Chain A
Amino acid sequence: MENRLFVCSSPHLRDNATTQRLMLDVIIALLPATAAGIIFFGLRAALVIAVTVAASVLTEYLMRKGLKREQTISDLSAAVTGLLLALNFPPSIPLWIAIVGAVVAIALIKQLFGGLGQNFMNPALGARVILVVAWAKHMTAWTEPLVDAIASATPLSLLKSADGGYTYSYLDMFIGKIPGCIGETSALAILLGFLYLLIRKVISWHIPVIYTGTVAVLTWILGPDGIFTGDPLYHVLAGGLLLGAVFMATDYVTSPMTRKGQIIYALGCGVLTTLFRLYGNMPEGVSFAIVLMNVVTPLIDRHTIPVAFGGEKRVGQHN
């Protein structure tokens, strides 16, 4: 026995947290939004979710196998990506587009860049952006909640339409009884998930609150009838802002690692989202804003290296 003791470098004690548990927490936090989507948009939404998640996990499995890497589907990250992607689809999306989206997200954006932790943009959002550009019609075909397949307009597309009159009440928007992507319509369900993530300390409040707050303030200032005539509450409740701010912008891999960096990043997301929504071609801008800020994240990280305890800024830090 004498010489068989196991030797390694300290620490010899680790916390219970695991990647798998964190991912499971995100899935649990998404359950209210998932349920709301199925309630408002019916079994069709459930089908889209099931197909997208299955396609994502299968793609991850096949990619890892094909690339001869160890299997990683058990870390649940592919399931999270699949679920987030599905929640970003309109309920009427053709299933084959959903599958293409899952393959793009997992194979192209995640695995080809090295797998979990190496992707430079959020896989679900990256895929969504590609789909919106490729199949704009299918990706913006909205249905009325609680009714079967009637062409309809989202709160944000109403803003862009000629008459511009508001037809949705704040209450309907809060509960989620409005047209939109499967998981984005119910602010209530998303906030429940946010609360869960905060309690479980999976994320901090900074990115969601600063992002949403920035959009609220800017849309209020830049109102349609001059300064301070906007309707910030409408902008916060409409579209994918809350889903994006809570679940997509907070993606660990593609957001900055320091608090300071996260604040800059969240402000950037808010400014871009507002600009896209108010002055862009399309009614919504959350996906584009977050994906753009994802790409800027390495730059933010590089310029927000914290000063060490008792230390001074290194000369030439920005070289």
Chain B
Amino acid sequence: MALNWIFRGGVPAPHRKNTAEAETSVIDVPEKVIIPMVQHIGAPCTPIVKQGDTVKVGQKIGDSEAYVSAPVHSSVSGTVTKIEPMLFAGGNKVMSVEITTDGRQEVYEGVLPPEIRNRDDFLKAIRDSGLVGLGGAGFPTHVKLNPPKDKTIDCLIINGAECEPYITSDYREMIENPSGIIEGIRIVLDYLNIPKAIVGIENNKPKAINLLKQLAEGDKRISVQSLRSRYPQGAEKTLIYSLTGRKVPSGKLPADVGCIVLNVNTVSFIAYYVKTGMPLVQKRVTVDGPVVNRPQNVMVPIGTSLQALFDFCGGFKSTPYKVLMGGPMMGIAQYSLETSVIKNTNAILAFDKKEGDLPSESACIRCGRCVEACPMNLLPLELNRLVLANRTDELDRYHILDCIECGSCSYACPSKRHLVQSIRIGKDAVRRLQANKN
């Protein structure tokens, strides 16, 4: 096995993979789903259905002319009952389509395996499928798979690191559908003419590593590598570095070092879509956290409310204080259980006050633990100081825009300072300052 490059910094976040060994269950079709028109990075979709329309599973209900966008499909069969801005996982309101289900889950007639003869057909099919990066950010996959012509891609990287505590939805895919992952990798390698693929998996998942290694044996192009279990191993820049030794330059993309990174779920969906033509309408979600009665992975239609999901998992042991969409290191806190599961939701976690409360800050003692923890080699304590003093013009000198917001600094801080939180504010201020200058 090739040696990994070791990225600096990071933190030994606890694993807490409580749901790792249980089979994924399938939720009963909820009474209604709320499907937002923006579930990706890029232009929002416009609804193409009207109130009162009947829709079926896999039917397109929203699309956009823009290139950087991904269409949205109905995850259920039923009737469109409302089209208006509704509460979104980001905390804002987003144009959404509410569908009241009929429970029959009839499949839309237009759902047919795509005809793919060449690269262009393939990219079009990926766009039609509504696929976005399922690992977290939700960037439209067809854009990712089509880097600028001057960039030669020589390595497809498959992210199975899953370094966030609690989350096991990628792990379950690797255990339950490993052949789908390998199949998807082959499809991407073939159509995009990429010579090799590396699957990176943290070494706390030996079963998944072995399974995928066995399946990849026949194909010389695909290698499976065990990675050190250290947060944020699965962040794009640290993952590429760990597997190839290449450093994505500041402000650049993986394609600039010849890589495309796809999550294991993303790549296995590609295989599924090519075979069935069923767009991205359901998602495996890890439901966990100390106040959840029956933590488990659940396959849910996109648009299912958090409330319905928690109900399916036996409700709460005690009143939840904080609910997260995503992992505890980078997840987004939800203020209502009305929000719905979207394409890139990989976990829903519920915490009590003890674990969910924001610790109060004390003075920075300059111990340097944040500096040690920063995988991007930044000085979080200095950034924090400058942001709090409103010295926006000095932030660039400390490379603030290179922050990947992994939260390692805040995690490591003994004074419980809200480091990455302030850095987010600083990044925003710097971007606005730069926009004003131009």
Contacts of B321 in A (CB 8 A): 5-6
Contact between A12 and B399, CB atoms less than 8 A apart: no
The stretch of A27-35, A168-176, A301-309 that contacts the partner chain:
A301-309
Contacts of A117 in B (CB 8 A): 363-366
Instruction: Please name the residue on chain B nearest to A304 by beta carbon.
Output: B379
Contacts of B376 in A (CB 8 A): 308-309
- Whether a CB of chain B sits under 8 angstroms from the CB of A162 is no
The stretch of A125-133, A180-188, A251-259 that contacts the partner chain:
A251-259
- Whether a CB of chain A sits under 8 angstroms from the CB of B378 is yes
Residues of chain A in range 65-80 having any CB-CB distance to chain B below 8 Å: 72, 75, 77
Residues of chain A in range 247-290 having any CB-CB distance to chain B below 8 Å: 252-253, 255, 257-258
CA distance A146 to B321 in the complex (A): 61
Instruction: Please name the residue on chain B nearest to A257 by beta carbon.
Output: B368
Residues of chain A in range 1-39 having any CB-CB distance to chain B below 8 Å: 1-3, 5-15, 17-19, 21-22
**Given A9-B418, A117-B365, A310-B248, A3 contacting B381 (CB threshold 8 A):** no
Contact between A13 and B329, CB atoms less than 8 A apart: yes
The one of B363, B377, B405, B414 in contact with A308, judged by C-beta atoms closer than 8 angstroms, is B377
Contact between A309 and B328, CB atoms less than 8 A apart: no
> Which residue, A13, A115, A258, has most C-beta atoms of chain B within 10 A?
A13
**Given A6-B322, A257-B371, A310 contacting B366 (CB threshold 8 A):** no
**Given A11-B330, A309-B247, A314 contacting B363 (CB threshold 8 A):** no
The stretch of B56-64, B192-200, B351-359 that contacts the partner chain:
B351-359
- Whether a CB of chain A sits under 8 angstroms from the CB of B116 is no
Contacts of A310 in B (CB 8 A): 237, 247-250, 252, 402
For B414-427 the 0/1 string (1 means CB < 8 A from A) is 11101011001000
A44 → chain B, closest Cβ, in Å?
33
The one of B248, B320, B365 in contact with A22, judged by C-beta atoms closer than 8 angstroms, is B365
B405 → chain A, closest Cβ, in Å?
8
B-side interface residues, number (CB < 8 Å)? 72
Residues of chain B in range 312-356 having any CB-CB distance to chain A below 8 Å: 319-324, 326, 328-338, 351, 353, 356
- Whether a CB of chain B sits under 8 angstroms from the CB of A311 is yes
Contact between A14 and B165, CB atoms less than 8 A apart: no
- Whether a CB of chain A sits under 8 angstroms from the CB of B369 is yes
- Whether a CB of chain B sits under 8 angstroms from the CB of A225 is no
Instruction: Please name the residue on chain A nearest to B165 by beta carbon.
Output: A13
- Whether a CB of chain B sits under 8 angstroms from the CB of A43 is no
For B361-402 the 0/1 string (1 means CB < 8 A from A) is 011111111010001111101100000000000001111001
CA distance A128 to B401 in the complex (A): 43
CA distance A93 to B415 in the complex (A): 36
Contact between B379 and A306, CB atoms less than 8 A apart: yes
- Whether a CB of chain A sits under 8 angstroms from the CB of B88 is no
- Whether a CB of chain B sits under 8 angstroms from the CB of A229 is no
CA distance A301 to B424 in the complex (A): 23
**Given A2-B337, A309-B377, A314 contacting B13 (CB threshold 8 A):** no
CA distance A56 to B379 in the complex (A): 32
A89 → chain B, closest Cβ, in Å?
25
Contact between B357 and A6, CB atoms less than 8 A apart: yes
Contact between B366 and A257, CB atoms less than 8 A apart: yes
Contacts of B416 in A (CB 8 A): 14, 18
**Given A1-B319, A5-B333, A117-B365, A14 contacting B399 (CB threshold 8 A):** no
Contact between B336 and A15, CB atoms less than 8 A apart: no
The one of A12, A75, A116, A305 in contact with B324, judged by C-beta atoms closer than 8 angstroms, is A12
> Which residue, A7, A253, A310, has most C-beta atoms of chain B within 10 A?
A310
CA distance A307 to B250 in the complex (A): 10
Contact between A306 and B377, CB atoms less than 8 A apart: yes
CA distance A117 to B415 in the complex (A): 11
Contact between B333 and A311, CB atoms less than 8 A apart: no
- Whether a CB of chain A sits under 8 angstroms from the CB of B181 is no
Contact between B358 and A8, CB atoms less than 8 A apart: yes
B36 → chain A, closest Cβ, in Å?
19
Contacts of A118 in B (CB 8 A): 363
- Whether a CB of chain A sits under 8 angstroms from the CB of B302 is no
- Whether a CB of chain A sits under 8 angstroms from the CB of B91 is yes
> Which residue, A1, A7, A75, A77, has most C-beta atoms of chain B within 10 A?
A7
CA distance A258 to B382 in the complex (A): 11
**Given A9-B418, A309-B375, A252 contacting B367 (CB threshold 8 A):** yes
Instruction: Please name the residue on chain B nearest to A17 by beta carbon.
Output: B414
CA distance A115 to B381 in the complex (A): 17
A5 → chain B, closest Cβ, in Å?
5
- Whether a CB of chain B sits under 8 angstroms from the CB of A167 is no
Contacts of A2 in B (CB 8 A): 336-338
**Given A258-B371, A311-B402, A14 contacting B379 (CB threshold 8 A):** no
Contacts of A3 in B (CB 8 A): 335-336
Instruction: Please name the residue on chain B nearest to A312 by beta carbon.
Output: B250
CA distance A312 to B250 in the complex (A): 8
CA distance A100 to B366 in the complex (A): 27
**Given A13-B13, A117-B365, A21 contacting B329 (CB threshold 8 A):** no
Instruction: Please name the residue on chain B nearest to A311 by beta carbon.
Output: B250
22 A-B pairs (CB sep. < 8 Å): A2-B338, A3-B336, A7-B91, A9-B420, A11-B329, A11-B410, A11-B420, A17-B414, A18-B415, A19-B365, A117-B366, A257-B371, A305-B379, A306-B377, A308-B250, A308-B399, A308-B402, A309-B7, A310-B247, A310-B248, A311-B377, A311-B399
Question: Which of B's residues lie within 8 Å of A, judged by CB?
Answer: 7-8, 11, 13-14, 91, 165, 237, 241, 247-250, 252, 319-324, 326, 328-338, 351, 353, 356-359, 362-369, 371, 375-379, 381-382, 396-399, 402, 405, 407, 410-416, 418, 420-421, 424
Besides A5-B333, A10-B405, 12 more A-B contacts (Cβ < 8 Å) are A8-B421, A9-B421, A11-B411, A14-B411, A14-B413, A15-B414, A117-B363, A252-B366, A305-B379, A308-B250, A308-B399, A309-B250
For the complex of A and B, 5 pairs with smallest distance between CB atoms: A11-B407, A311-B250, A308-B399, A310-B247, A13-B328
